[in-house]
């Protein structure tokens, strides 16, 4: 198909199936949170429909692509689409990083009476602001939201000025290992790309398997890390550090999971011989996504675990 021909795909039912799936998922989720019995099953149904849609839709695109129906222009559209989608993800994470910075630099010190703001120490009697665990209320105090906090003991003399997250989770243990794993996975993925361009299928497969293995190892360690943190008393409900910690690492972990699944699909497609040296946007799009997830982790490592 020549460069100058426009391509407009024919209609499909996948989008409407997707809308039904995602809406069912959300309605189920909301009901589940409100303690409605059927909530969870409706949620599962919605998830199943959504996954079905994704396989169906992407499968159709793959078929059309391997049948040679797409041209260079379609390829470029996909590239623009993927890169701006990743940018929107960056902004999503930025909201949570913003919350982290705001709480750390402003709201927690203010609660401790800094800057002579409207929050004076009188408001929170005998409160000393400490970053990592907000242990200023007696264990068992009710939060506004009705949940109870149970704080681990804070070491003597630890305040917002001198505490770092390292006092809670040692960044040079599992988190450093995980950083190494993800960085390595970025390298192996790049090797896979080089192999793809050189047309060595066995090498591609080898490097891809290595990348996926590194990703899965990362996830395994992350689960270990969570159970340590949880056992030490750091929970989503233990104030703002726990909130940002679990939300940021949780969304990141979710993205690693999705990335690993996508890489697995790519592995399957490589085996099927879907790509050649010039034509492999599917591979590249997933690679971009994987690198993005990598970079987010670096931000997490520095700001959530280390500094």
Partner 1 sequence: MTTATASHDDHHHGPEKGLMRWVKTTNHKDIGSLYMWFAFIMLLIGGALAMGIRAELLAPGMQLMEPQFFNSLTTMHGLIMVFGAIMPAFVGLGNWLIPMMVGAPDMALPRMNNWSFWILPFAGGILLSTFFMEGGAPAFGWTFYAPLSTTFAPDSTDFFIFAVHLLGFSSIMGAINIIATVLNMRAPEMKLMDMPLFVWTWLITSFLLIGAMPVLAGAVTMMLTDRNFGTAFFDATGGGDPVMFQHIFWFFGHPEVYIMILPAFGVVSHIIPTFARKPLFGYSSMVYATASIAFLSYIVWAHHMFLTGMPVAGELYFMYATMLIAVPTGVKVFNWISTMWRGSMTFEAPMLWAVSFVFLFTIGGFSGLMLGIAPADIQYHDTYFVVAHFHYVLVTGALWSIIAATFYWLPKWTGKMYNEGLAKVHFWWAIISVNVLFFPQHFLGLAGMPRRIPDYSLQFADFNYISSIGGFAFGASFILLTYIIIDCVRNGKPAEARPWPSAKGLEWTLEPKAQYHSFNTPPSRKLIEQESQNS
Give which of 177, 208, 179, 176 is closest to 191, Cα–Cα. Answer: 208
**Does residue 48 interact with partner 1 by CB under 8 A?**
no
Q: Is 148 helix (H, G, I), strand (E, B) or coil?
A: strand
Q: Min. distance of Cβ 50 from partner 1 in angstroms? A: 12
Distance CA 130, CA 119 (A): 15
Q: Is 130 helix (H, G, I), strand (E, B) or coil?
A: coil
Binding to partner 1 (CB under 8 A) within 68-97 occurs at: 69, 73, 76-78, 80-81, 84-85, 87-92, 94-96
Q: Min. distance of Cβ 256 from partner 1 in angstroms? A: 18
> Where does residue 126 rank: exposed (0-12), middle (13-18), buried (19+ CB within 10 A)?
exposed
- Of 210, 216, 217, 236, which lies in the binding site for partner 1, with binding defined by CB under 8 A? 236
Closer residue to partner 1, CB minimum distance, 9 or 199: 9
**Does residue 49 interact with partner 1 by CB under 8 A?**
no
User: Could you count the other beta carbons within 10 Å of the beta carbon of residue 121?
Assistant: 14
- Of 59, 98, 199, 220, which lies in the binding site for partner 1, with binding defined by CB under 8 A? 98
- Of 4, 126, 153, 202, which lies in the binding site for partner 1, with binding defined by CB under 8 A? 4
> Where does residue 11 rank: exposed (0-12), middle (13-18), buried (19+ CB within 10 A)?
exposed
Binding to partner 1 (CB under 8 A) within 111-150 occurs at: 111, 115, 117-118, 134, 136-137, 141, 143-145, 147, 149
**Does residue 40 interact with partner 1 by CB under 8 A?**
no
């Amino acid at each position: 198909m020549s460069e100058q021909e426009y391509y407009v795909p024919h209609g499909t039912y996948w989008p409407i199936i997707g809308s039904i799936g995602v809406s069912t998922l959300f309605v189920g989720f909301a009901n589940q949170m409100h303690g409605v019995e059927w909530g969870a099953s409706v949620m599962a149904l919605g998830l199943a429909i959504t996954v079905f849609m994704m396989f169906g839709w992407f499968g159709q695109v793959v078929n059309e692509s391997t049948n040679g129906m797409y041209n260079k222009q379609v390829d470029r559209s996909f590239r623009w689409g993927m890169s701006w989608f990743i940018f929107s993800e960056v902004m999503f994470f930025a909201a949570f990083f913003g919350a982290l910075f705001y709480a750390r630099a402003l709201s927690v010190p203010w609660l401790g009476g800094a800057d002579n703001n409207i929050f004076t120490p009188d408001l929170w009697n005998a409160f000393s602001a400490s970053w990592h665990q907000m242990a200023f209320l007696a264990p068992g105090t009710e939060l506004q939201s009705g949940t109870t906090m149970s704080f681990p003991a804070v070491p003597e003399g630890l305040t917002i000025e001198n505490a770092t997250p390292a006092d809670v989770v040692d960044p040079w243990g599992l988190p450093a290992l995980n950083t190494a794993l993800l960085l390595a996975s970025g390298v192996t993925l790049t090797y896979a790309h080089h192999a793809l361009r050189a047309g060595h299928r066995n090498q591609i497969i080898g490097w891809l398997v290595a990348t996926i293995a590194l990703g899965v190892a990362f996830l395994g360690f992350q689960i270990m890390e969570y159970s340590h943190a949880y056992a030490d008393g750091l929970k989503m409900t233990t104030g703002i550090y726990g909130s940002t910690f679990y939300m940021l690492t949780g969304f990141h972990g979710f993205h690693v999971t999705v990335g690993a699944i996508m890489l697995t699909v790519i592995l399957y497609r490589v085996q099927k011989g879907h790509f050649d040296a010039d034509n492999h946007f599917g591979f590249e799009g997933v690679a971009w996504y994987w690198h993005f997830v990598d970079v987010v982790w670096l931000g997490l490592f520095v700001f959530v675990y280390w500094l």
